[in-house]
Structure 1
Amino acid sequence: MRRSPALTTGLMLSTVLGVLDLAGLTGLFVDAAPPAALVIASALLGVSTIVCVPAAWRGKRPATAVVAGTRTVSALLSVPAFFAPQAPGWAKSSPQWPSRPPR
C-alpha cells in the first residue's frame, strides 16, 4: 500500500503532538497548574492518538479519522488558554482592551 506524503507527514506530526500531550501531565505538579481536568483530557487524547496512529499507518480509515478527530479536539481545548485572564503573559494572544476608549 502506498501512503501519500501528506498522510505520512500528518501521522508523524500527530504522533509527536500525542507525545507532547502526555508530557503535559507534568504541568499538574507546578505552582500555576492548569485545570487538572483539562490536562487529563489532553493526555487521554494523546493516548488515543498514539494508539490509533499504527492502525492509520496500515491504512485503516477509521483509525485515520480518530487521529484527525483527537488532534482537532486537542487543538480546540487549548484555545481558551489564550484568552483566560489567569493565563501567563506569554500565553495570552488577546490584547487587553481598556474599559473605555481613550480620549
Structure 2
Amino acid sequence: MSRSPEAAKRQKIQQQQKRINDRLGLTTPYCMSDHAISRSDIHGLLADGEWHSTTEINDAANSTEGTRRLRELRAAGLHIEGRRKADSPQHEYRLAR
C-alpha cells in the first residue's frame, strides 16, 4: 500500500523535527517546551521551500522570537537561506532544498 505524497511529506518533516530535537538535546517530554513547538512550527512553514518574511516566521512561532528559533534550527543542522527583501529593511528565509 503506497502513501499519499502529502503523507510522505508530513512523515519526512516529522523525522527531520525529531533529528533537530535530538541534536538540541530535547529528548524528554519536559524538554518539548514552547520553544520546541515554535521550532517545529517554523520548520513546517519553511518546508515548502518558498521565501518567508520575518513577520511570517514570527507568526508561525507565535512570538517575536521567531528568528531566534530560526537560528536554533540552523544550529541543529538545517540549511536555511536568508536574504534582504528588495527595497525593504525586512529579511526573508527559506529552507534550502
**TM-score for the superposition, normalised by structure 2:** 0.34
Could you say which structure has the larger radius of gyration? 1
Q: Which has the larger helix fraction?
A: 1
Which has the bigger relative contact order, CA under 8 A and spacing at least 6? 2
